[in-house]
A = this chain, B = another copy of it.
C-alpha cells in the first residue's frame, strides 16, 4: 500500500509518516514511480508507535519497541530495551504525578486562604465562618 492508505488506516497523516521516515523510525520501500510502499508489517509498527505516543512517550522512546517488532518478536515489548523504557516511563510518571499533586495541594491551600480573606473583607456581608465555637453561632 502507499503512504495515503497507510496513514488513513492508522488514523494519522502522510506528513507524520514522512517525518517518521526522516527519523529513521519507519523507512519505506519505493515502487517504480518513486512512491513509498508499505506492507501490513509496517502498519503494525505504526500502530505500536501511535499507541505509545498516545501514552505520552517521546518518539525516540518508541524506537526500541519498533526495533523489537522488526526483529521478529510478536510484541514490541518482548525485548529488554522496551521493558527498560517502560520502567523509566513509570518512574517519570510517578515523579511527575507526585510533583503535580504537590502543586495541586499548594494551589488549593492558596485558594482556600484567599477565599477566606476575600470573604472577611467583603463590604456586603463579612459573615465570618463558624470557627468551631466562634461567637457567630
Contacts and interface: CB of A to CB of B under 8 A. Distances in A.
Interface stretch (A17-25, A88-96, A123-131): A88-96
Report whether over half of chain A's contact residues are helix, strand or loop; otherwise say mixed: helix
Interface stretch (A1-9, A35-43, A98-106): A98-106
Nearest to A102: B55
Instruction: State the copy count for this chain.
Output: 2
A10 interface: no
A110 B56 contact: no
Interface of A: 55-56, 75, 77-78, 80, 82-83, 86-87, 89-90, 93-94, 96-97, 100-101, 103-104, 106-108, 110-111, 114-115, 117-118, 121
Given A87-B111, A90-B108, A93-B104, 7 more contacts: A55-B103, A56-B100, A78-B121, A86-B114, A94-B104, A97-B97, A97-B104
